[in-house]
Structure formats: C-alpha cells, structure tokens
Amino acid sequence: MTLKIVLRNLLAHPLRNFLTSGAVFFAVFLLSFLQAVVSTLDAGVRSASTQRLWVQSAVSLFVDLPLAYESKIATVEGVEWACKWQWFGGIYKEESNFFAQFGVDPETFRKSYPEIIVDDEHYKNFEGNRTGCLVGKDIALKYGFRVGDTVPIIGRIFPRPDGSPWEFKVEGIYESKTAVVDQGTLYFHFDYLKEAIESGDTDGEIGVGVYLAKVRDGADPGQVQSAINAMFENGPQRVNATTEAEFGRQFVSMLGNIPLLLRSIGGAVLVAIFFAVLNTMLTIGQERTRDVGIMKAIGFQDGAVFRLMIIESLVLSLSGGLVALGVAKLLEPGMRMALTQQFPGFAMSTNTLLVGLAIAAGIGVLAGLLPGMRIRNLTPLQGLRGQD
C-alpha cells in the first residue's frame, strides 16, 4: 500500500515530478560519465602486473635507448627476456585519426601479455609477416579494419622521403582483458622499422623507446629494478626502470589537476541537483500535510509517514538515476569508440555504475530528510488543519 500511495502521488503531478526526475537523470548521467573517465585513468594502474618492468630513458620520454641495451638488460639477474617497444607516432590518413602504434618484438610481445586474446593462427601469420600488424578491437571497429586489410600510416617521426604512407597488413585483431593494454593500438615488427632506417627508406634514428623487461617468476621485481638502473648509471643514456603500475601512474600524474577538476565539476553538479530535488520534496511535503494528518488520526505511527516521505523521495530520485545509468551503459561502446584517442579503454564499469546508484539513492534519502522530519513531527490535528 505504501508504494501504491507513493507512486500514485508522484503520478498525480506528472510535469513537476518528471522535471525533477529528469534533472536527476541528467546529473547522474554526467556524474557517471565523469566518474568513468576518472576510473579509466586509474584502471591501468590498478591492473598492472608486478612481473613486468618498463625501462625508459631517465632523461625524457622522447629520448630513445640504444639498441645495444637489449642484450645487456637480458643479462640482468631475474630478467627472463627484454621486449623492444618503439613508439611510431604516425597518423592514419589525417591528423584527427590518431591512435597509438608500436614497433615490438612479436616473439616476446605476446608472451609478455597473457591477458591479450588473439587467434593463434593469426598471431603466427603476424610473426611470419615482416610488414604485418596486429590491431586492437576498438580501432578495428572504429575504422573498419579487417584481417587482410592494408592500413596506411603516414610517418611523422619516421617519415618516408616522398611523404608516402607506410603500409601494414592486418594479420590479426586482438582483444584485451586487462586495462593495462587498451584495444586501441596497432602493433608491428620493430625489425621492419629498423631495416627501413638502415636502408635509408626513412628518416630518423634507430633506437628503442622503452624496453619491457619480464621478471622471472620468483625473482624480486624491486631488486631487478635497481639492478637495471645501476647498470646504466654512467650512461650513455641513464635509465629509469619502473614497475608497470608506476609507469601507468606516470601518465596519470601528467594529467595534473584534470582528475581534480572533473571531481569538482561532479561535486558542483551534485549540489545543484540536490537543491533541485529538495525543492520538489519540500513542496511535496507541504502538499502531503493533510493526508498525513488523516493517516496519523487513523493510527499510523510517525515513523511510518516518515518512511513514506523518504520512499517518495527515493523513487523520485532513482527513477531518473536508474534510467541515466541504463543509458550510460548503453552508450558505453559508442563512447569508447569516440574516445579511443583521448581515453583509450574508456569503460563504464560496474563500480562506476554502483557509484552512480549510490549517488542517486543518497540524494533521494537526503532530500527526503527535511520534509520527512517535518511530517514526522506533525501532530494529527496539525496535519488535519493543514498548518504547523
């Protein structure tokens, strides 16, 4: 009966309640979007593996390490293998189509990431084809790449003298079950790039952006880290070996205050919407004065009518909130595709949805408190007479 009363009361003022619910809808939608962005940024750090170390130049992200380092790193105690990663930095057709491309060692690449899912046959083809590449599911979807297609990438760091694009044949499409590897990257053979530089087919210098050092099971990552750093203390290029988590955090911290900004916006949105819902609930509370008087005269307890108000507030808030979460989840694939450039791996995780739900419910309960308490404290006679 309580729910019946609540629902019918809400439907009795359709426009006003729809507007309030609608305001909550927009607020929760926005908030869950912001929360998803923030959590996407953290996701990579959270799912990092302790068994993978990243070795980069201590000087700059933009300075490559010598090729000779590969064998040296492999000799460090506790290192199982070193995989080369070179940032290619090209564009697909035009400036706005930007996604990451890396030249890697195919034999050690897949071994380093058991979380990557790709057809074995396809991967074998990738390994066998010097000019082949592996593309992530998200960019395959966005640009319509299929196995067998040729992807032209215009080199910017490694341009062809005549400005023509590099051509990579798609040998496989990969999916990633971890946030550390997004599905928006193109991986090709490092050696292909190396040979092109050696033969003068492209400008640029041979170097390796980062080495991925796989830590042997049982070895202490911290010790391996220190050993690698010490090995190159005196140059020619000092290195900074970091855990995968640290590496990820590095990029997040580059965003500086953006996460704070997003959270502040979220906070302000919450405040704005809370006032809006409170406004409606106060009006509803006033309207309900006589009904409450009747119910209390009949014998309903103070607590019962208080609950009625809270439930009404909750239904009002959750009706908008739940729809917003539903829409946000529905739009997730679309948004991920649109954001592969800025926020690859954008995800509306269950956690984010739960946060959104908690917010909507929280607003509902809080907005109902003030009118609820007033209603609770009304004597039957006050209610019947319609005054406080």
Residues 201-230 that bind other proteins (CB under 8 A): 203
List 27, 181, 212, 215, residue binding other proteins (CB under 8 A):
27
Binding to other proteins in span 267-286, by CB under 8 A: 268-269, 271-273, 275-276, 278-280, 282-283
Closer to other proteins by Cβ: residue 128 or 386? 386
299 near other proteins, rule: CB under 8 A = yes
Binding to other proteins in span 96-155, by CB under 8 A: none
289 near other proteins, rule: CB under 8 A = no
Q: What is the distance between the terminal CA atoms of the chain, rounded to a whole angstrom?
A: 26
Minimal distance, residue 288 CB to other proteins, in Å: 10
Binding segment toward other proteins, per CB under 8 A, in 14-22, 114-122, 169-177, 216-224? 14-22
334 near other proteins, rule: CB under 8 A = no
Binding segment toward other proteins, per CB under 8 A, in 128-136, 138-146, 211-219, 262-270? 262-270
Q: What does the alpha-carbon distance between residue 75 and residue 43 come to, in Å, rounded to a whole number?
A: 32
List 14, 144, 218, 236, residue binding other proteins (CB under 8 A):
236
Binding segment toward other proteins, per CB under 8 A, in 69-77, 210-218, 247-255, 310-318? 247-255
19 near other proteins, rule: CB under 8 A = yes
58 near other proteins, rule: CB under 8 A = yes
Minimal distance, residue 313 CB to other proteins, in Å: 14
List 330, 354, 358, 381, residue binding other proteins (CB under 8 A):
381
Closer to other proteins by Cβ: residue 173 or 281? 281
Minimal distance, residue 327 CB to other proteins, in Å: 12
Q: Binders of other proteins: how many residues, by CB under 8 A?
A: 75
Binding segment toward other proteins, per CB under 8 A, in 2-10, 102-110, 223-231, 351-359? 2-10
42 near other proteins, rule: CB under 8 A = no
Cα-based torsion angle of the residue sequence 131, 167, 96, 180 in order, rounded to the nearest 10 degrees: -10
List 110, 189, 214, 296, residue binding other proteins (CB under 8 A):
296
91, 97 contact by CB (below 8 A): yes
Closest CA to 225 of 38, 43, 58: 58
Binding segment toward other proteins, per CB under 8 A, in 24-32, 106-114, 122-130, 218-226? 24-32
